[in-house]
Structure 1
Amino acid sequence: MKLIKTSVLRPVGVTMIVLAIIALGLVSVRNLAVDLFPKIDLPVAVIATSYQDAAPEDVENLISRPIESAVSTVEGIDTIQSQSQAGASLVIMMFKNGTDLDQALLDVREKVDQVKSFLPEQANDPNILRFSPEAMPILYIGLSGKDTASLTNLADSQIVPFFERQPGVASVTVEGGKVREIQLELDPVQLEQYGLSPQQVMSALNETNSSASVGTVDKGNQDLQVRIIGEIESVEDIKQTIVQTPTGATVHIEDIASVKDTFKEQAANSFVNGEEALVLSVMKQTDANTVEVAETVQKNMERFKRDLPDDVELKVLIDMSDFIVMSIDSVLENIVIGGAIAFFILLLFLKSIRATLVIGLSIPIALISTFALMYFSGQTLNVLSLGGLALGVGMMVDSSIVILENIFTYRKRGYSLKDAAIEGASELTPAVIASTTTTLVVFLPMVFVEGMAADLFIPLGLTVVFSLVASLVVAITLVPMLSSKFLSKVMDGQGKRYWFDRFLDWVRDKYAGGLRKVMKFRKTSVFVTVALIIGSLALIPWIGAEFIPASDQGQVQITVETEPGSTFAYTEEKVLQVNEILDEYDELIDVSYVTVGGGGPFGGSANNAMYTMQLIPASEREITTNDFVVEIDEKFQQIAGAEITVSAVDHSVSLGDPIQIQLNGPEHDKLREFSEDVLAEISKVDGVFNPTTSASEGVPQLAVKVDEEKAAAFGLTEQQIIGQVQMQFMGQVAAKYREEGQEIDITLIYPEEYRSSIENLETMQIRTNSGAAIPLAEVASIEEIQGPIALNRHNQQPQINVSSAISGRDLRSVMTDIEAVLEEMSIPEGYSYTMAGQAEDMVEAFAELAIALFFSIFLVYAVMAVQFENFLYPFIIMFALPTSVIGVVLGLAVTRIPFSVPGFIGIIMLAGIVVNNSIILVDYINILRRRGIERTEAIVEAGRSRLRPILMTTLTTVLAMIPLGLALGEGAEMQQPLAVTIIFGLTTSALFTLFFVPVIYIMFDNLSQKFKNRKKRKKA
């Protein structure tokens, strides 16, 4: 009351405070970071280790298992996963929510250091790092020109360092580049003639290519350091390097080898829109803002391009920030549209531009105040927080409407402007505070919610809380002050919109008549309402459910996988066939680039190719990304000799596939068979799209098994034999050659005809320590086998994942059918399966949010009990809550939108919103009854009187959400379930508030009177 008086009597002070808040908010909004989603805090750490040329089995036994065993005792670890591939090990540790990841990483490093000495000498030191879902490229930049070799040199020497110097850039990787190499192609005949081995050639190069300090000499008063310079300075120096033969003679390297200044064999090759090019992937720092970094890089890149040669083109292929900007812009547009709709609704009801402006001012002031609070609380502008603002736009005016409506009432009674403002605002301020508080408390239980649901919900909840607190303060300070100055007279129905007053009076009369009938047939009314609630609950299974609605970001990924062991050229041939099909969709594809040989998780593989495509914006095409994926996937099935998988890329908050089945058991081989059976069975389920298994076909291998007894007879060890075989068939880096600041490998290699066939392996000569040569077959057996590509483990047990996308059906329905299929399967003893991916995320999130909903309802009741100082009236008001279920189910069914996390969040928010109308109604009924009005007449009069503000608050909130409910603009799919839930739920609850709550009020009031009468009789 005192605050309201102060605001009315001291308008200058209030105005200055408002202006200061506006200035602070405008500064804050300029500094707010912009991103697509809130920051997802995943407590995940990764240990990566390379073990060159080792088979997956050796990597698993010698590296992955020891590391798993060591880190398994670290406190807070939830699961440990590992993948062992030829030459590399990846151990992924997922910690429990709430774990201090910084301390956990220190513990992990300590455990790894303890086992480091037990790892193979050839293995590199394990690299331990924190995993972040933001560790994805934000820019793909194409570099094209005539000469790939010169482009690679340009990228390494100038472009990559330039980009890595930009603020917020963490690293830049280059795909498709050529790496210079000096190859010494050995001549086996000449080596045999001179009695030399490759190891002797390597030693000669290393001994020649060295420099050292050997002391100092005096020169007058100075000490001169003596340094012997012996480094190779040119390719000619390599040719002239002297090698000592066993007989003491000397030969030059050019006598026994062909020296070639060439390039390493490419592991990957990149094509942009069908043309060979380099692709640079720009990664941002963890704490950097995506949009800001992308804008900075592109702005500075334009200046940098001026210094590039004319025949070199540097251009952005895919900019991840584009979708973020479009999404944020579309949400902002929806907020503006919603605000405009709310403004016109107010104008329609108030019939006064001045009165509308009084309330309309609460929207921008509350918005600007919200931006300031978001900035100081460390929030970002993202689709979820802005979705909260879009919701808040309609709710921001609710408190102001109620206050202004009551000020009008007092003005009509003859009060002066100031007295009407003070008395009207003071009378309903408690009810307004109560109704706002009930909305705010629904967010308190989120403090106890863990995981991804909390990361998603808290930013949205904070935004709504900030906006409602700001709007409440405006309603009880600024609105009374402005009313006392600008509303010189109350609009009494005269004017252009008099027709609406007559229409509203007609609605009031009809409502009053309907209310009297409903109160007369109370049992029938309750039965009908309960039947509708039960009927709507029965429809829930038909709606379906999903984790997070997928956004149509227009990004498509195509994986081309040929037979294991296929050559690079064969894979490129299949890529050309894919290109022919993609050429039919030129008008839809904005940019497309493919990396041949880059599809493996640890690096490239000759039988893999990976496409990344960006379609034109959704507003410019008639087909959705998912429909496009399904259409081209059917055409790709015509390409024989390759497994082609197409998927829409959704940079959402979930990292897993929609369906992921984790198969666990003691043996990899049986798991592989089990996974094939599971894959075959789930492929029959409707909605399963492109199912795959991590148990890929084995790579054909020639297994060379050394007979240690025979080798020892010739004075050889297994390691010596392995070294000589590696030298002949893989080559070996002998030394480094420095030129213009770059280090270039000098590689010893045998001619192609000596290392390309099985016969070459079988007839290979192994040199003994005495210099004699024996066939490899003398000391080893050679067998052709199928070797695994990768070995996975989960919690120190073998694991294989079967994954699938979904199409045409919702996630919950597909998951339910898959679980039914798995239950009918015969599972080998000792083996098991668990559901993971988005299906697991959905179940966990729903469970967490269900707990939050329960506590939210309890807190709403508790707040009302404190406000009314009564347990009965809050209980009556709560009957408006279950009726909202009718609208929620109806809305999702009509719009064909599956239930999801945003929809669940909408239900939690409804728990605090739908009771507001009931609070206003019941509170006013009690006020009238305290004035001596009979109960039935008090209910009817309260209904007639409160109908106007209830309609205004409901319509402003509902209609302001319609742009979001229609999913207008890019990225609006995320907020659509939230908007639809609130639109239909609030509309339905408002209707039942006007009819059903009065019925419940009478029934419980009668029951209360009976108890009071019984007590009186007992006392008597």
Structure 2
Amino acid sequence: MPITYPGISIGKARELLQQTDKLIRTVPEVKTVFGKMGRAESATDPAPLSMIETFIQFKDREQWREGMTPEKLRQELDARLQFPGVTNAWVMPIKTRIDMLATGIKTPVGIKIAGPKLKEIQAIGLQLETILKTVPGTASVYSERVAGGRYIKIDIDRERAARYGLTIADVQQGNATAIGGVNVNQTVEGPERYPVNIRYPQAYRDSVEQLALLPIVTIQGQRLALADVARVYIEDGPPSIKSENARVNGWSFIDINDVDIGTYVKRAQQAVNEQIDLPPGYSLTWAGQYEYMMRAKEKLAYVVPLTVLIIVLLLYLNFRNVTEVAIIMGTLPMAVAGGLWLMYLANYNFSVAVGVGFIALAGVAVEIGVIMLVYLNQAWQVTIAECEREGQTLNEAVLIQSVMRGAGQRVRPVMMTVAAIIGGLLPILLGSGTGSEVMSRIAAPMVGGMLSALLLVLLVLPAVYYLWRKTQLGTADS
């Protein structure tokens, strides 16, 4: 998504669009490329002329050059599209459209500068561009030129117009017809309808000097030039005005590379706080996907503890014993450790999908622990009944035999449960199709956690159970 400065002419914009499309098409992996500049006749598409939306379709992976990866492809495309005054942002089309509709920011990270004066907002944006370019992980940064628009002003002199019998409306209507045109008819071509618009040729309106020579005919038949009754000149102004919470805004768009959003924003905030002293009445708001991350973080802050609390409550209602509940809950740290190790090996960052995976892992790990503990209790109750029937005394040797018998009965069911879970999640973890980026991050904590939970349930949990029952035997003997 190349972005350039406001005030670009339609002809230059068309030339830039064609050049970028041709350069992208020279990459062997590109199948089709389609660029769009400007906006549609819709309120949901507020794209300015300075923003190019380029949609690239790639060939199948089998047809790519040997050793080519999506990251290398992005770097090659970015290297080819280096134009003065153009900033590139490489984003996914559907995801970006959703982000733009939700937050207005089309890049992973954005900054919204709010304040009373547009010129000051633009100056702060330029400072942000300079500072953020040096932050590690910045692929590109562009701040909107909120005061960089160029407008042709036609300032009508009322007194001079009145001398010729012209009103303000007469002059304005003539200008609107000559420059913008007027629909005089409609042509019908089969089921299609097209308006017929008449206006002056482009040579009469392609510069300020030519506009000043536009002819005006008065009611008395006098022929005048527009410069006789108005001053035509170019004036600077805002290309567009954005506002949020009743405050004027200017936005900065930041594309990142080889870094997660949370780490990058932390670095960027530190750099900005150290190097920018905001004037009174101005503020910075970090937006884009960072907003989603903060909302998810706030929800997970109470969802995760609530999940653990519900698990503890259900376990207590089942066992009616705080110690047994604590033994089972002890499986969670070991399971979480396995999930964290696999995330580290896969180079995954923490995200909402990863959080969902850990929540699912907590339920499955506790379930396996419950299975083992139930059979350990059953084996111990059977051992107690046998000792009472045969008149034997409960001792440490009897306890060891009971624990080994109960744990041994659960080896195969636990192994089958873990194998079924991991076998079902491996295709999701290793998949590469549409949506695999999210699904693999849900599966990774569960696969890694199940491997470590297996070792815990088969080895550590019986040992902890043995120590607990041994303490009870010592208390009973005393």
Name 1:564's counterpart in structure 2.
7
Distance 1:751 1:876 in 2: 86
Q: CA deviation at 1:908?
A: 0.4
Whole-angstrom CA distance in 2 between matches of 1:580 and 1:744: 31
* 1:964 to 2:428 alignment: yes
Answer yes or no: is the 8 Å Cα contact 1:629–1:648 preserved in 2: no
Secondary structure, counterpart of 2:34 in structure 1: strand
In structure 1, list runs of 5 or more residues that go unmatched. Answer: 1-557, 1015-1020
Match of 1:690 among 137, 140, 151: 140
SS in 1 for 2:2: strand
> CA deviation digits over 1:343-386, x for unaligned, max 9?
xxxxxxxxxxxxxxxxxxxxxxxxxxxxxxxxxxxxxxxxxxxx
Q: Which residue of 2 aligns with 1:785?
A: 235
* Number of the residue aligned with 1:169: none
> Is residue 634 from structure 1 mapped to residue 79 from structure 2 by the alignment?
yes
Give the structure with higher Rg (CA): 1
Q: 2:411 aligns with which of 947, 967, 981?
A: 947
- In the alignment, the residues of structure 2 paired with residue 849 and residue 686 of structure 1 have an alpha-carbon distance, to the nearest angstrom, of 28
Q: What amino acid maps onto 1:822 in structure 2? A: V
User: Which residue of the partner structure matches residue 840 of structure 1?
Assistant: 291
| Structure 1 match to 2:382 | 931
The answer on whether the counterparts of 2:215 and 2:223 sit within 8 Å (CA) in structure 1 is: yes
SS of the residue 1:986 aligns to: helix
Measured on the aligned residues, the alpha-carbon RMSD in Å equals 3.1
What's the offset of the Cα at 1:794? 0.8
User: Are the equivalent residues in 2 in contact too, given 1:618–1:970 (CA < 8 A)?
Assistant: no
Partners of 1:741 and 1:918 in 2: CA distance: 70
Return the offset for 1:1003: 5.2
> Match of 1:995?
459
Whether the aligned pair in 2 keeps the contact of 1:559 and 1:599 (CA below 8 Å) is no
User: Is 1:854 paired with 2:305?
Assistant: yes
C-alpha contact 2:150 2:239 (8 A) present in aligned 1: no
Pair 580,760 (structure 1): closer, same or farther in 2 beyond 3 Å: closer
**Matches of 1:979 and 1:597 in 2, distance apart?**
41
Q: CA deviation at 1:602?
A: 5.0
Residue 625 of structure 1: which of 57, 61, 70 is its match? 70
What is the letter of the counterpart of residue 928 of structure 1? A
Q: Does 1:898 align with 2:349?
A: yes
In structure 2, C-alpha distance between the alignment counterparts of 1:658 and 1:733, rounded to whole Å: 43
Match of 1:581 in 2: 23
The answer to whether structure 1 residue 643 and structure 2 residue 107 are counterparts is: no
Distance 1:950 1:592 in 2: 52
847 and 1012 in structure 1: CA distance in 2 versus 1, 3 angstrom threshold: farther
Q: Is 1:747 matched with 2:197?
A: yes
Counterpart in 2 of 1:591?
A: 32
> Take 1:604 and 1:994, find their aligned partners in 2: how far apart are those partners?
60
Alignment partners' CA distance in 1, 2:428 and 2:190: 58
Note if contact 1:958-1:983 (Cα within 8 Å) is conserved in structure 2: yes
Using the alignment, how far apart are the partners of 1:782 and 1:852 within structure 2? 63
Cα-to-partner distance string for 1:925-973 (whole Å, 9 max, x where unaligned): 2112212354333223222222222222222222332232223445422
Asked if residue 655 in structure 1 is aligned to residue 95 in structure 2, the reply is no
CA deviations 1:972-1004 (Å, max 9, x no partner) are: 222111221111111112212233333443555
Contact 2:25 2:32 in 1 (8 A): no
The CA distance in 2 between the partners of 1:602 and 1:951, in whole Å, is: 55
Structure 1 residues 188-203: aligned runs within 5 Å: none
Partner of 1:212: none
Q: Give the 3 Å change call, closer, same or farther, for CA 863–698 of structure 1 in structure 2.
A: same
Amino acid of the structure 2 residue aligned with 1:895:
A
> Structure 1 856/596 Cα, relative in aligned 2: closer, same or farther at 3 Å?
closer
3-state secondary structure, aligned to 2:383: coil
Q: 1:690 to 1:897 in 2, by over 3 A?
A: same
> Which residue pairs with 2:444 in the alignment?
980
> Using the alignment, how far apart are the partners of 1:952 and 1:602 within structure 2?
54
What does the per-residue CA deviation read over 1:10-69, in whole Å, with 9 as the maximum and x for residues that have no partner? xxxxxxxxxxxxxxxxxxxxxxxxxxxxxxxxxxxxxxxxxxxxxxxxxxxxxxxxxxxx
Deviation at 1:627, TM superposition (A): 2.9
Equivalences for residues 364-383 of structure 1 within 5 A: none
Give the match for residue 665 of structure 1. 115
SS in 2 for 1:564: coil
- CA distance in 1 between counterparts of 2:313 and 2:237 reads 65
- Give, as a single letter, the amino acid of the residue that structure 1 aligns with 2:56: M
- 2:119–2:146 contact (8 Å) kept in structure 1: no
The answer to whether structure 1 residue 828 and structure 2 residue 279 are counterparts is: yes
- Displacement after TM superposition at 1:820 (Å): 1.2
Check the 8 A contact 1:714/1:768 in 2, yes or no: yes
Matched, 1:675 2:119: no
Q: 2:112 is paired with a residue of what secondary structure?
A: strand
- Match of 1:850, as an amino acid? A
Q: 1:740 to 1:620 in 2, by over 3 A?
A: closer
Write out per-residue CA displacement over residues 141-161 of structure 1, whole angstroms, 9 at most, x where no aligned residue. xxxxxxxxxxxxxxxxxxxxx
Against the structure 1 CA distance between its residues 742 and 596, is the aligned structure 2 distance closer, same or farther, given a 3 Å change threshold? same
Corresponding position of 1:276: none
Q: Return the TM-score normalized by structure 2.
A: 0.84
Contact 1:965 1:980 in 2 (8 A): yes
Cα shift readout 1:749-805 (whole Å, capped 9, x = no counterpart): 234443333223333444445444444334333332223221111122111121222
Which residue identity is paired with 1:876? I
Q: Secondary structure at the match of 1:685?
A: coil
**Structure 1: distance between partners of 2:256 and 2:140:** 8
1:427-485 CA distance string (max 9 Å, x none): xxxxxxxxxxxxxxxxxxxxxxxxxxxxxxxxxxxxxxxxxxxxxxxxxxxxxxxxxxx
| DSSP 3-state at the match of 2:436 | coil
- For CA contacts below 8 A with separation 6 or more, give which structure has more relative contact order: 1
User: 2:87–2:140: 8 Å Cα contact kept in structure 1?
Assistant: no
Structure 2 Cα separation of the partners of residues 996 and 951 of structure 1: 15
- Give how far 1:921 is off: 1.7
SS in 1 for 2:438: coil
Distance 1:968 1:562, change over 3 A: closer
Give, as a single letter, the amino acid of the residue that structure 2 aligns with 1:890.
Answer: W
> 1:885 deviation in Å?
2.1
Amino acid at match of 2:444: V
By how many angstroms is 1:861 displaced? 1.6
Tell me if the contact between 2:430 and 2:440 (Cα under 8 Å) persists in the aligned partners: yes
Instruction: Say if 2:359 is the partner of 1:916.
Output: no
Paired-residue identity, %: 21
Q: CA deviation at 1:841?
A: 0.3
Secondary structure of the residue aligned to 1:931 is helix
Q: Does 1:794 align with 2:235?
A: no
The partner residue of 1:758 within 208, 229, 241 is 208
Structure 2 residue matching 1:645: 3-state secondary structure: coil
